[in-house]
Amino acid sequence: MTLATLADVLQPALKNGYAVAGLVTLGWEEMRAYVAAAEAEGCPVILQAGPSCRDHTPLPILGKMFRHLAENASVPVVAHLDHGYTFEDCKMALDSGFTSLMFDGSRKPLQQNIDETAAIAEMAHAAGISCEGEIGFVGYSGGENSAGTDPAEAAKFAVESGVDAMAISVGNVHLQQDKEGGLDIDRIRAIEAVTDIPLVIHGGSGVPVDQRTLLAKNSSVCKFNIGTELRMAFGHAMRDAVNRDPKRFDRVTILKETHDPVVAATRNVLRAFGAPKLG
């Protein structure tokens, strides 16, 4: 149980009523802590490289980091491209050893989104890996507003794009720091009534924990992306480490002290999704 595709971990989740966390990474310290937490909980994990992560570290390096962690892990680890905006982004991730590509055409007209996503899915499947697409637009806290997913469009997208998982917009918002929002359950039920593939919630940090658990167990939502919540845990831990001794300047020494707090926060996140312990 090491390197896995998105389909490898989401199909069992769909069948057995649990969800898998897509954890947004920014650097080595978080990646390592996420895998350590998944091993402690005995569940699969999806390591995600989003646009800000890719701005910081080139995709070929991220691919090697993800694969190194996966190949030495005792649980399935997916190396996932989050929000690839172009065919070139996705092709580079494929060539860099990623096992899952998420193409985000959600800002584009429906048919263009379907056609471009289908091309990515075809490329991914030919290489033996997975593809996630997005229908409806998930907005950003303090930024772009969301456009909710239309169930009829979701049904068309799911069939014609050929994706292994479908991200939807149902009240979720990227970069939300509190958990006061909550999701539109009626819209989720309408979407899952006309589709049969795993559904994905981006902006999962803003979803109340009890709602995450409910949907993981009793819906087609099989993947929650969690970034802001764990980024906050990392930032608080690093601030504490720096302030503990203002004379320290060695970042390796400082960053070591983020590991245990981030592992603990990640274990809390993973536990809410109800995955049975492996092995």
For residue range 211-258, list pLDDT tens digits in order: 999 999 999 999 999 998 999 999 999 999 999 998 888 999 999 999
> Which residues constitute the domain of residue 205?
3-271
In whole angstroms, give the CA distance from residue 201 to residue 17.
Answer: 15
For residue range 140-186, list pLDDT tens digits in order: 655 556 667 889 999 999 999 999 999 998 876 655 555 566 788 98
- Residues 69-97, mean pLDDT to the nearest whole number: 97
In whole angstroms, give the CA distance from residue 112 to residue 276.
Answer: 39
Q: So what's the pLDDT on residue 142? A: 55
Is residue 20 one of the residues assigned to a domain? yes
CA 47 to chain centre: 7
Is residue 278 one of the residues assigned to a domain? no
Is residue 161 one of the residues assigned to a domain? yes
Question: What is the count of structural domains for the chain?
Answer: 1
Q: Which residues pair with 2 in a beta bridge?
A: none
Pick from 159, 160, 216: nearest CA to 188: 216
In whole angstroms, give the CA distance from residue 17 to residue 66.
Answer: 27
Q: What percent of the chain has pLDDT over 70?
A: 92
Is residue 276 one of the residues assigned to a domain? no
Pick from 95, 84, 4, 82: nearest CA to 43: 4
Is residue 73 one of the residues assigned to a domain? yes
Highest average pLDDT, of 102-116, 134-148, 194-208, comes from 102-116
The pTM score is 0.94
Is residue 205 one of the residues assigned to a domain? yes
Residues assigned a catalytic role: 82
Residues 6+ apart with CB under 8 A from 250: none
For residue range 58-81, list pLDDT tens digits in order: 999 999 999 999 999 999 999 999
Q: Residue 19 belongs to a domain with what CATH number?
A: 3.20.20.70
| CB hemisphere CA count around 33 (13 angstroms) | 28
Is residue 192 one of the residues assigned to a domain? yes
Is residue 138 one of the residues assigned to a domain? yes
